[in-house]
Amino acid sequence: MNNPENKKWTQLWLQYKAPEGGLPKAWNALLRVSVSGFDPENRIVKSALEELRRGVFSMTGKDPEILPAPASDVSCVQSARGACLVIERKKDIAPQGYRVRTESPAGAADSTADSAAGGAVIFLEAPDENGLLYGIFRLLFSAQLCGDPEEAAGLFEPDAPLRMLNHWDNMDGSIERGYSGRSFFFRDSQFLGSDRIRDYARIVSSVGINAVVINNVNVKDAASCLVTERYYEDLARVGGIFADYGIKLFISINFAAPMEIGGLSCADPLDESVAAWWQETTDRLYAAVPYLGGFLVKADSEGRPGPFTYGRTQADGANMLARCVKPHGGCILWRCFVYNCTQDWRDKKTDRARAGYDNFIDLDGKFDDNVILQIKNGPMDFQIREPVSPLIGGMTGTNQMLEVQIAQEYTGQQIDLCYLIPMFKEVLSFKTYCTKDGKDTVSDIVCGRTFGNRESGMCGMTAVCNTGDDACWTGDDLAAANLYGFGRLCFNNSLGTEQIAREWIGLTFRLGKKNSVRLL
C-alpha cells in the first residue's frame, strides 16, 4: 500500500490519492479556504486545516490558499471570482455534526476567470471544532472517490455520542488478543514516541472516533501506576495528541490500586480512606492530564479485584469512582463482564450466560449519572453467534454503551478474512421491545434516543481495537475494513454494510473512476 511519507507504517485510508486523470475541476474550491467563527489557534481547528492542506497537496501538488478575510456570505466569495471552501460556525446543528452545501460562484462560466474558477462554492458548517474536523475529512474522502461536491452535500449528525476504541495493550508491549504485532503505545513499561500515535489519532478521528482507552482492562504491574506521577508527563503528551483531533483519552484502572500502590489495607469502596485516596489521586491526575475523559474499570471478573470482595455491589464501586471524576467532567465506564470464571461447566445450576444480567439488573437506577455500563453485544464473550445481551433494554434507568470486538479473537485471529460490520449492524437493529413508542432497538438505546440521555453524552458504542505496530496496523490489509467500518457505523448507524465496504475499498485501493462510490 502507498506510503508517501516514507514512514514504517501505512496511512490506511488516509492516502489522499488523486483520482485517475487528476482531481476534477469541480473540487477547485478546496484550493481556497475562508474560515469564519472558529479560532484559528484552536488545536482542533489547526489539525483540521493541516489535514486539508495535507490532502489537497497530495492530490494536486498545491497548497490551499487561506483567504485573508473571512467570508460571511456567498457574495464575498463571488467577489473573489472563483470557487472557494467557506467554513462557518453554525449553532443549528447537533454537537459534533456538520453540514455541507454548495452554490455556484460568479464568474464560473467566464473563460477569463482564474484557475480556481470552474468549481462550486462549498460551504462547510459546524457547531464545534469536532464537527469542522469531520467535515474536512468528508470533503477529502468525497474528492478521492470521484464524487461531485453536490454529492457530498447534506446534514450529518452523529448517532452515538461516545464513539470509542478500547485497546488491550499491556505496558510490556504485548497485546492481549492482539493479532497485529505489538503495542505502539508501550514497551518495557515505558511510553513510545509520538509520531505513530499522532497518525493513529488522525486515522481514527477521520471516521468519527472521539474517545480511546489506551491500556488493557486487565490492569497489572506497571499499568497500575498510570494514575501516579510516574506517568503524568507521558499521559499529558498522549492526551494532547488526542485532543488535537477531538479525542478524549481514557485509561483502565486497577480497582485494588489503593492497596497495591497506595499502601492501604483494603480497597472497599465504602471505606472513607479508600474514597479519599481515590479522590486525591484523581485530582492530581486531572491537574497534570487535563484532557482525560475518565476511567474504564473491569471488576470482579477473571481474577480482577472488585467490590464483591467486600460484600459491596457493582454500583457501590462505580459510584465511588464516579464522584471522584465528576468535578473534572469525567465519567466512569464500568464493564458488565462479571462472572465466576472458576465455575465447573458440569454444574447445571450455574448459567454463565445469565451472570451479567443477574449481577446488574437489580441495580438499575442506582448508578450515578456519570457512570456508563459497558455491555458486550452478547451475554457470553464475543462468540461468533450470540443473542443480544438482555441487559440492553432490560435496564431502563442506567446509562449504557454497546461493546463489540473488532479484533478477531473468535473469527480467525485476523488470519481469516471476516467482515464484521454485518454482525454489528444486526446487533444494532435488534428490537428489544422495551418501549411502546418504537424507539426500542439496540441502536436507539445506546445512542440515547430511548431513555433521553443523548444530550448528556453518557451513552454510545465502543470496540476492542485490532491495531498494533505491524506496518499495515491491522495484521493484514483487509482487516482494516473492520476498523474503518466500526467508526463509520458509530457515526451513522443506518449505513449499509456494502456501502461501508465500497467506501473503504475506494479510499484504500486505487481503482479508477469505474469503481467510484458516493460517500453517504
Q: Which positions are annotated as active-site residues?
A: 302, 381, 409
CA distance 301 to 340: 7
CA distance 176 to 409: 10
H-run or E-run covering 334: strand 331-335
CA distance 323 to 280: 12
Q: What is the DSSP string of 184-241?
A: SSEETTEE--SHHHHHHHHHHHTTT--EEE-S-SS--GGGGGGGSGGGHHHHHHHHHH
Is residue 33 within 8 Å of 49, Cβ to Cβ? yes
CA distance 390 to 16: 43
CA distance 486 to 163: 9
- Give the torsion sign (CA, 423, 400, 442, 243): negative
Q: What is the DSSP letter of 477?
A: G
Instruction: Cell numbers for 55, please give them.
Output: 490532502
Is residue 404 within 8 Å of 366, Cβ to Cβ? no
Q: Which residue has the cell 467500518?
A: 485
Is residue 254 within 8 Å of 203, Cβ to Cβ? no
Determine phi and psi for 78, rounding to 5 degrees: -65, -35
Give the count of alpha carbons within 13 A of 490, CB side only: 30
The separation between the first and the last C-alpha atoms of the chain, rounded to the nearest angstrom, is: 25
Residue 81: which of 52, 122, 26, 121 has the closest Cα? 121
163 strand-pairing partners: 461
Instruction: Tell me whether residue 201 is exposed, middle or buried, using C-beta atoms within 10 angstroms of its C-beta: 0 to 12, 13 to 18, 19 or more.
Output: buried
